[in-house]
Amino acid sequence: MTNVVIFGAPGSGKGTQSELIIKKYGFKHFSTGDILRKQIAAESELGKIAKTFIDRGQLVTDELIIDMIAKELDTVKDASGIIFDGFPRTYAQAEALKKILNEKGTDVTVMLNIQVDDDELIKRLLERGKVSGRSDDNLETITKRIQTYYNQTAPVIDFYQNEGTAVDIKGVGSIDDIFGSIAEAIDSKTIK
Ligand code: B4P
């Protein structure tokens, strides 16, 4: 099974590129952001807690996220691959994902580290905010989300560099060109 971690700062294009990966490879998509937004819309207990963090530009606690992902993974039957989009976002989440996958006899195949500078991230998220209706796509929250990324999420890069699975992807340019680099990275780790 191919397990792809799609990684990057908020607005780096993880969701956008995940859709193209699904189209080409048919992998199953786990987006922690999407799952949380569904929980918020459903006004579940998890959704209510998650909203307080998301609206402040903070990460939802590791415990809630790891539990949520473990449950989602238990529902997967015969998938040829999985895309983890927006997860792991902390070092502890990366360790937990490794443990869960190892217990299933598998591991992360490739981590795609999408790199985009802060000015471009802010520009994209403000633009998305005009149509997304997302409560976290405003300048104040975007700025906090980017800070949270550097403080808590960037260390995840070290984790995958040590594992030997991290591949840097230039995330600025046309969506198709970026996808070209992503497909090359996935193929280089899967086609022997
Ligand atoms: P997410 O939903 O994961 O969202 P994101 O990081 O904001 O966006 P993404 O990188 O997917 O960008 P997109 O493709 O849309 O997280 C939301 C919140 O949920 C987090 O802040 C956190 O609070 C919580 N959360 C989620 N996972 C968590 C976890 N594991 N632990 C704890 N908390 C968690 O692209 C953005 C925009 O750019 C789009 O409008 C797109 O059209 C545009 N774009 C994309 N590629 C482009 C390109 N090449 N050129 C120009 N524009 C481009």
Q: What's at 183, amino acid-wise?
A: A
Burial readout 161-179 (b: 16 or more C-beta within 10 A, e: otherwise)? eeeebbbebebeeeeeebb
pTM: 0.94
Question: pLDDT tens digits, residue range 23-35?
Answer: 999 999 999 999 9
Which of 32, 1, 25 is CA-nearest to residue 182?
25
Q: What mean pLDDT is predicted for residues 40-52?
A: 96
pLDDT digits (tens, 9 = 90+) for 64-99: 999 999 999 998 888 999 999 999 999 999 999 999
Contact 178, 13 (CB under 8 A): yes
**Given ligand 1 and candidates 19, 32, 140, 143, which is best to mutate, with the most ligand atoms within 8 Å of its CB?**
32
Kindly state if the Cβ of 65 falls inside 6 Å of ligand 1: yes
pLDDT-above-90 percentage for the chain: 96
